[in-house]
Each structure stands twice: as structure tokens, then as C-alpha cells.
Chains A and B, each alone.
Chain A
Amino acid sequence: MSSLASRLNFAQYQRVLGVIGLLLVLVGLLAYSHPNSLQNENLNNLARRIGERGIITIGVGLVILTGGIDLSIGSVVCLSGVSFGLFLEAGWSPMVASVVVLVGSSLIGFSQGLLITKLRLQPFIVTLCGLFLWRGLAKFLTQVRFDKVGQWIGGSLPEGEAIFRDACRDVGVGGRQDLSGFFQLETGHFLGLPMPAWILLAVALMSWILVHATTHGRYMLAIGFNEKSAKYSGINTDAYKILAYTLCAALSGLFGLLFLMDVGTASPNTAGNFYELYAITGAVLGGCSLRGGEGTVIGMVLGTAVLPLLQNLVNFAGVPSDLEFSVIGLALLGGTLFDELLRRLNGSSRSG
């Protein structure tokens, strides 16, 4: 990275250090809470969780850098997981199925980006529509219809005896031995680390190069800071915004694939629920400003780690799991307050 850019991001690195501090505290608390918490199995699970979630944090982070937001992530995760499962049920090769899912989810992001740029609709609204639309589509794809006496009359082929009428069903490929080879991409290990962690490292490395080393990343940040100025400097702002939404949806699609491979089933009702919010939380904790322009890929990865660690801590410390969401809310609030405190101490609040 050029020295210009790195000095520019001084405040950013301060925030990164803050997240690292927070993570160290969480790991310390975790070690203190239960002797088993730092054992291999738990650490493996954590690495897998962080690896998966980090992918969508980076996805939404790219959008946030350009000053936008994507609320459709959870639903895109759901739709891709469900359709991946359906393709596999239909006997497609997992390679073909995953490529189709990735292309399809990219198209979702591309279309949302088109609506946001060419029709100048608000990102919040467009992706909120996406949140409903894509999950609805997932439910429709897995819909099962019965007549009054419980006879199957249409829709997706039920697996075993379904008891619901006009309901959607979970897609499951858990027991399929023929798929276990491909599923190693999720369930396997390499050099002691679970595969999702490696996938995240690869995604993070590519994103880091994109955001911090290439002209394209510069342009995306410029758009986030001041879209008008970027436009007056001859930057094709629409193209870069569409790119961000497309990459975000593609990464959500990738997450959907991993989700199905990990769990073995994908429920159109619950798969990916709240994941856009986890992703946004991770990005914000990692130093992305929702006003755009500010943020680092390293911060996004580190910010991702906070929530899984916190959830893990809640489990091990014996906190009632019903309080999990409240703990997350408090952590985010605490992080925001801490950040504001730093800002005031520095006297460098971002003024217009």
C-alpha cells in the first residue's frame, strides 16, 4: 500500500487496534469461563463460523464503502442454499450446481445495483425489497401442495411423508455419500485449519488487493466519500456501485453454498435469517462507517470475529441463551460508544 493511503488510514488502523483489543479481551474471558473453551474442537468451530460469516461481512463491507447498504444478504443466502440443495436433489453435479448458484446470485446483486444506480432508488429500499423477494422465491421453490385428504398434488417433490398443507419444506442433502467429496470444501481441513477459514483468507486477500491497492478500490472509496466529486473527477460511479452490489450478492451466494454443505439442510424459513444484520454489525465493528468511504478489509475480518466469539462466550459462561441477542446489542453499542470516545479524544470528528 502506498504511504499516502496508509497515512490516510491512520484513524482506521487505530480502530483496527481497538477491535484487536476487544478480541483479546473476549478470548481471555472465554479462557476464563470454561477450561474446554480453548480446546481444539471449539476453536475449530469458531474458525469455521468466522470463516463463513467473514465472507458476507466483506460482501456488505464493499457496499458500505461505496456509501450503500445491502439488507438482502440473508435472503440471498437462503435462496442460494435452497436452490443449491434442489439442484443436488435433482441429480446435478455439485460443481455445475454451485457455478449456477454463484452466477444466479451475482445476477441478483447486479439487478439490485441497476435499480439503485440507473433508477436512483434508495439502496435501503431496493435491498429491503430483495430481503422479502428472494426469501419468498425460496419458499415458492420448495412449496408442497396437497389436496384435502393429504394427497400430494403439486409443487416441489416432498421427501418422506409431509404433514403440512400448502407449506414449503426444508431441502436436505445430509446423508448423500456421493457428495461428501465435494463437501470437503466446507467440512474438510487444510494445515489444521477448517476450509471456511481458508476460503475467507482467499476472499479477504482478493478484497484487500481490490480495495487498498487497485484504482478500482480507490474509486469505490471516493464514491463513498463524495459521489458528486467522484463523478466530476470522471469516475464511472454507477459501474462501481453495481460492482459492489454484485460482489456482495455473489459472496452471499458463496455463503449459501457453504451453509448447505455445513448443515446438510436449508430451510427456506430460517436459513440466513438475520445474517445481513450480523454482516453489517461485523463491518461496523471493524471500522466501516455507514456514511461510506471509511473502512478496511482487515477491520472487516476482525470485526466478523467479535460476534461468534461473543456467542461462544455466552454459551460457555452459562448466560441464558435467550440473552444472546441482548449481549450482541450491548456489544455493538459499547463498540460504538468506545469509538465515539476515541474520536472526541482525537478531536478529529468527521465534520462536513
Chain B
Amino acid sequence: MSKAVSQPALWAKGVSKRYAGVQALDGVSVEFFPGEVVAIIGENGAGKSTLMKILSGVVQPDEGKLFLDGEEVNFPGPRDAMAKGISLIHQELNLAENLSIADNLYLGREIRWAGPLGLIDHAATRKGAAGLLSTVGLRLDPGTLVGQLSPGQKQLVEIARSLSLTARFLIMDEPTSSLTQKETDQLEAVVRELKSNGVCVIYITHRLAEVRRMADRVVGLRDGKNAGSLDQNQISHDSLIKLMVGREIKPPSHSEQVVTSSKAVLRLEDLRYAQSPLPGISLEVKSGEILGMAGLMGAGRTELSECVFGLRKRVGGKVILNGSELPANDVRSSIKQGMALVPEDRRGHGLLLETGVGYNLSLPNLDWLNWFGVVRPGSERRMVGEQIKNMGVKTTNASKPVGMLSGGNQQKVVLGKWLARQPKLLILDEPTRGVDVGAREEIYRIMRALAANGIGILMISSDMEEVLSVSDRILVMHEGALSGELHRNQFSEEAVMSLATGKPAEEKTADHIGYGRG
């Protein structure tokens, strides 16, 4: 490791930043050395993204200084930081989808023919692009439209673009949150390669397994302040969690004994949607049971849940809730009969981000909060107040726009809006994605309490730890079909992974091939 270098190459000293009255960063100091991979961890709202924006010149600190190679620097804009070799890859990628890879790589600094017309030299552009792509291990035609790439491939294109700017510091904000395992592997290989070339890679992530594999050093932030740091030999699951939340959190232990009745809340018989393989899906969720649904991304779990709920067209089979058959493609009757779906895309499908917490909570409950169609304000306020309290939503008031809450609190609002209906079956699709560790525990606690009250829970999750620790029973899907069922005594990462990949168990452990964790 390059820690031997006495002087940090990049040094943020006591930087602070306020946004509209909120202290996002408060006197944070961090140093970065060439040739190391630094993971920045912290709960949502800890100030990670703000720090990265300051380092890359996207925003300017209110207080504090930046030093590059020992000299104080000022970055009025991202271009100034880029000129000094600091590149930020945003969480939301900044690529023009309708342009080719090559055009994107050279956007804004096109290779031109000599002459007054400034015509673009396409041959040289393609050639240069091919070279850049090979450095990140992408074997694609540079002429491919970016819109046709997978999220992981786009990420690698972004990295290639940064590399072409001869970046010394590469900042990545949650680079793997939307990648498949293969893409994550590829990204990690590229990061290692960069590191050996002396590039400093700064990395924000929520996936602790990745931190353990990749990071030379971990810097923790909490409430906008330095929370400490860990050297490579100190990195462990527990130490990382302690660094993030400031207290020890026991890995979610399973409730002592499972009281699962034999009564099925939900029964699917040969359920099929368009493009689902034959035969359809048949399964049961029992009263008081948390049924985990594991599988790789794209295994068809979300599609199945949407079809059960009535959002996705059902082409065959039956959905039986509490003994009565539900009509196809009818969300409202599913809801009326006691079904609730907490969708995977919380911000896009679960919430009205610009509207208040209360407004979101009451939306699916207005059918019982009205008097001949007129909303009853008193009942609404009561219901909203109760759900904010029951769910432990941290908000200053019920009219605060829900988009301003943290991921965990947003998820509690989505849960609360459905739990107010006292559903009999709750479908949770990736219930803790983007949710910080503290709120995650609370969500698990709520789930267990619901199950104890006899509610059936179908939990779709790509988080191995979550699947193994929260579920009473696990079903695994592979390419649209159920590939197996595991009872508690059969639970193991290997068993889930082998069913998820549709293959018999192999030596590779789940952790090793990058199944999301933490």
C-alpha cells in the first residue's frame, strides 16, 4: 500500500457545507493517497455524497480547504477538478443514451479533422474509444448506442471516460447498486487494475461485502462528521456496522420459535403472465409466515408479484386470497380483499415524492376515510398521526414532502400506508434496498410483529443476509420458474445460490461471487 508516502496527494481539511439550513457536512477531514482504494461508508444522509461533490468541484465548501499535492486548491466547478485529475462518476450516470459509446467518450472534446469546418474524425474517435473500452474490459463495438447497454456496461463506459481524462482520483458513488454479479466482478477487476497503476479510487457503497473485498481503508461519516476510519486489517462486518451507526447491531437473529399456522393466506395455482414460462407458478404463503423469495435480478420475482397484485396482466391460473379467488388484473379488488404491495421502486412506484407524508399515507386509505366521497379531515389526520407513530417515521410534520426524508423513513411511509388497511397478505419487494442499517432493523421488527399477528408476508429480496435471517421459508426463482424450496434447516448461502443460478451447488461461495450483502 502506498501509505508510506508521507504527504497525502489529496487532502480535505475541515470542510463544512450547509444546504438550506441543514448541516450536511461539519468539519470533515479526509486524506487520500495514490494507489489506494478508499471506501466511504455511512448511513443515508451522513454526508457522503456532499463530501464527494466537494472533492470533485460540483459544490464548494462553506468552510475548510482542499489541498492537492500539498498546495491549496479551489475548484469553482467540476471542470477545474477534472483538469487536476479528479473525476466523479455520479450515481445517476451522465451519458447521452442516443449517442454511441465512442461519441459519449469524447463528448465535449471531439477529435476533429484539421480545417475550419471542425468536422469530427469518426475513424480516430472509434479507434481511441476501442482502446479506452479495452482498458475497462468492455468488449463492445464503440459504435453501439449507449441506450442499448446494461447499467453495468454504462458504468464501465463512464469509467472509461474518466480514464481518458487521465484521472488520478476516481470517485464513484454507489457504483454497484444496479449491477449484476458479473458486472460487479468486472468493475472490481478494473478497480484493482487502476489501483496498481497508481490511481486512487474513492468509493461510496452500502454493500459491506464489497468493502471487505476491495477497500484498503474505510472512512466512516455520521451526521456530517468524521466517525473514524478503519485500516485494511481492521475491516470486518461488525466493525463496519459499528462505524456506520455508532453502536453495535447484532445481525438480525431469527425469532425464537416460528408459529406458522397451516392456514394459507395466499395460494397461487399455475399463475402465468405474458412471457412467463410454462408451467406457471404455484405456491402458498401461510398465515404468520415470512416467505423469502430469492433469485438473481431478472429471475421474474417482481413480475410475479405484480401479477399477483393485479398490476401485470394475468394470462392464466388462479390467485386465491384467504380462500376466495381474486379477479385478474384488478388491483383495487386485490387491495379490498386484503393484499398490499410495497414495490421495489419506492420513489417511482411507491410514493408521491413532492407531496406530504400524510398525503402519501392516506392515499390508498381514502376509500374508508370519506363520507359520500368527501374526505373526512379529522379521520385522515388521526390515521396519519397513528401511522407516523406506529412506524416510527422521523419527520418534523405530516406535510413535509416525503422526498425529503431518508430512504428508511420513506420506506416506513410506504409500509405505513398499507398497514393502515390491516392487510392479510403483504408483499415486500426489496424492502430494505437503499435503507440504512438502523431503519433496516426497525423494518424487520415491524415485519416480525406483523407475522406474529397472523399476516402472511411474501418478501422478495436480493440481499442474501436478509433472505437467510428474516425468512421462515425460502423459495428460489430462476428464469421465471420456481427452482426450489428451502426450509430453515436447509438454509445456507450455497443452497440459495445454486438454486438461484439453476445449477447444483459449486465451490464458489455466495459472498465470493458478489451476491449483494449489507
B378 nearest in chain A by CB position: A2
Asked if A151 is at the interface (CB within 8 A of a chain B CB), the reply is: no
CB distance from A329 to the nearest CB of B (A): 29
Per-residue CB contact flags for chain A residues 174-200 toward chain B (1 = under 8 Å, else 0) read 000000000000000000000000000
Which of A91-99, A232-240, A319-327 forms contacts with chain B?
Answer: A232-240
Tell me if B352 and A222 are in contact (CB < 8 A): yes
Which residues of A220-234 are within 8 A (CB) of B? 221-222, 225-226, 228-234
A225 contacts B355, C-beta separation under 8 Å:
yes
A270 within 8 A of partner (CB): no
Whether A215 contacts B370 by the Cβ 8 Å rule is yes
**Which residue of A has the minimal Cβ distance to B372?**
A214
Q: Which chain A positions have C-beta within 8 A of B354?
A: 225, 293, 350
Name the one of B332, B352, B397, B399 contacting A226, with C-beta atoms under 8 angstroms. Answer: B352
Q: With the chains together, A2 CA to B381 CA distance in Å?
A: 8
Partner of A218, one of B334, B353, B366, B398: B366
> Across the interface, do A215 and B359 meet the contact criterion of CB distance under 8 Å?
no
CA distance A7 to B355 in the complex (A): 10
Most buried by B among A4, A214, A225, A293: A4
Are A7 and B335 closer than 8 Å at their CB atoms? no
Are A225 and B352 in contact, with the CB atoms below 8 A? yes
Q: How many Å from the CB of A50 to the closest CB on chain B?
A: 28
CB-based nearest B residue for A4: B358
Say yes or no: is A163 at the interface (Cβ < 8 Å to chain B): no
State the Cβ distance, B494 to closest chain A Cβ, in Å.
35
Given contacts A4-B380, A215-B375, A218-B366, contact A232 B349 (CB under 8 A): yes
Question: Cα distance A234–B417 when bound, in Å?
Answer: 12
Task: Determine if B364 is an interface residue (Cβ-Cβ < 8 Å).
Answer: yes
Residues on A with C-beta less than 8 A from B374 are 209, 213-215
With both chains docked as a complex, state the minimum distance between the C-beta of B374 and any C-beta of chain A, in angstroms.
Answer: 5
Residues of chain B lying within 8 A (CB to CB) of residue A228: 348-349
Docked Cα-Cα span, A216 to B334, in Å, equals 20
B108 within 8 A of A: no
Residue A352 interfacial (CB < 8 Å): yes
Which of under 10, 10 to 19, 20 to 34, or 35 or more describes the interface residues of A? 20 to 34
Q: Are A4 and B384 in contact (CB under 8 A)?
A: yes
Q: Which residue of A lies closest to B376 (CB)?
A: A2
User: A330 within 8 Å of B by Cβ?
Assistant: no
Q: Quick check: A8 and B355 within 8 Å, CB to CB?
A: yes
* A4 x B348 contact (CB < 8 A): no
Q: Residue of B at shortest CB range from A218?
A: B366
**In the complex the two chains form, is B373's CB within 8 Å of A214's CB?**
yes
Name, among B341, B366, B370, B417, the residue most crowded by chain A CB atoms within 10 Å (CB to CB).
B366
- In the assembled complex, B331 has its CB within 8 A of some CB on chain A: yes
Does any Cβ of B come within 8 Å of A5's Cβ?
Answer: yes
A338 to B398, CA, bound (A): 29
A-B CB pair tally, cutoff 8 Å: 97
Separation of A32 and B20 alpha carbons in the complex (Å): 42
* Minimum C-beta distance from B128 to chain A (A): 34
List B contacts of A213 (CB < 8 A): 374-375
- Tell whether B246 is near chain A: CB-to-CB under 8 Å: no
Q: Are A4 and B331 in contact (CB under 8 A)?
A: no
Report A5-27 residues with CB < 8 Å from chain B CB.
Answer: 5, 7-8, 10
User: Which of B311, B352, B356, B366 is the one whose CB lies under 8 Å from A7?
Assistant: B356
**Do B359 and A233 touch across chains, with their CB atoms under 8 A apart?**
no
Closest to A350 in B: B354
Cross-chain contact B355 with A2 (CB below 8 angstroms) = no
Q: Assess A218 versus B381: contact at CB under 8 Å? Given A7-B356, A228-B349, A234-B331.
A: no
Shortest B18–chain A CB gap in Å is: 11
Q: Are B370 and A214 in contact (CB under 8 A)?
A: yes
Q: Assess whether A3 is interfacial by the CB under 8 Å rule.
A: yes
Asked if A1 CB lies within 8 Å of chain B CBs, one says yes
Tell me the smallest distance from the CB of B340 to a CB of chain A, in Å: 9
Q: Which residue of B lies closest to A212 (CB)?
A: B375
Residues of A within 8 A of B348 (CB): 226, 228-229
A347 within 8 A of B: yes
Expressed in whole angstroms, the minimum distance between the Cβ of A26 and any Cβ of chain B is: 31
Q: Is the CB of B359 within 8 A of A4?
A: yes
Inter-subunit contact A347/B20 (CB<8 Å): yes
A10 neighbours in B (Cβ, 8 Å) = 399
A231-253, CB < 8 A from B: 231-236
Question: A80 to chain B: closest CB distance in Å?
Answer: 29
Nearest CB to that of A352 among chain B residues?
A: B353
B343 on interface, CB distance cutoff 8 Å = yes
Binary contact readout A305-331 vs B (1 if CB under 8 angstroms, 0 otherwise): 000000000000000000000000000
> B72 near A: Cβ within 8 Å?
no
**A351 CB contacts on chain B under 8 angstroms:** 403
Which chain B residues border A350 with CB–CB below 8 Å? 354
Contacts of A209 in B (CB 8 A): 374
Interface centre among A225, A228, A229, A233 (most CB of B within 10 A): A233
Is there contact, CB below 8 Å, between A215 and B366? yes
Instruction: For the complex formed, measure the closest distance between the CB of A11 and the CB atoms of chain B, giving whole angstroms.
Output: 10
Residue of A221, A229, A234 touching B351 (CB-CB under 8 A): A229
Whether A233 contacts B311 in the complex (CB less than 8 A), given A2-B375, A4-B358, A347-B20, comes out as: no
Q: Are B377 and A3 in contact (CB under 8 A)?
A: yes
With A218-B363, A218-B366, A225-B352 as known contacts, state yes or no: A4 contacts B332, CB within 8 Å. Answer: no
Given contacts A231-B311, A347-B20, contact A3 B352 (CB under 8 A): no
**Contact indicator A232/B359 (Cβ below 8 Å):** no
Contacts of A215 in B (CB 8 A): 366-367, 369-370, 373-375
Is there an interface contact between A4 and B349, defined as CB atoms closer than 8 Å?
no
CA of A61 to CA of B351, assembled, Å: 23
Tell me whether B353 and A226 are in contact (CB under 8 A).
yes
Instruction: Check B359–A5 contact: CB distance below 8 A.
Output: yes
Instruction: Closest A residue to B352 by CB, please name it.
Output: A225
Q: Which residues of B contact A3 (CB under 8 A)?
A: 377, 381
Residues of B within 8 A of A4 (CB): 356, 358-359, 362, 377, 380-381, 384, 398-399
- Do the beta carbons of B341 and A232 come within 8 Å of each other? yes
Could you tell me the distance between the alpha carbons of A216 and B370 in the complex, rounded to whole angstroms? 10
Complex alpha-carbon distance, A293 and B356, angstroms = 13
Interface pair B335/A234, CB less than 8 Å apart: yes
Bound-state CA distance A10–B373 (Å) is 24
Q: How far is the CA of A214 from the CA of B354 in the complex (A)?
A: 20
B349 A7 Cβ-Cβ under 8 A: no
Cβ of B350 within 8 Å of any chain A Cβ, yes or no, is yes
Contacts of A222 in B (CB 8 A): 352, 355, 363
Specify which of B331, B369, B398 is in contact with A231 (CB 8 Å cutoff): B331
Shortest Cβ-Cβ A-B pairs, 9 listed = A2-B377, A7-B399, A215-B366, A234-B335, A225-B352, A4-B358, A233-B364, A214-B373, A347-B20
A-B contact pairs, 21 of them (CB 8 A): A2-B380, A3-B381, A4-B381, A4-B384, A4-B399, A7-B397, A215-B367, A218-B362, A221-B355, A226-B348, A226-B351, A226-B352, A228-B349, A229-B350, A230-B352, A230-B363, A232-B331, A232-B349, A233-B363, A233-B364, A293-B352
Can you name 13 extra interface pairs (CB under 8 A) apart from A1-B377, A5-B359?
A: A4-B377, A8-B356, A215-B375, A221-B355, A225-B353, A225-B354, A226-B353, A228-B349, A230-B352, A230-B363, A232-B350, A233-B363, A234-B335
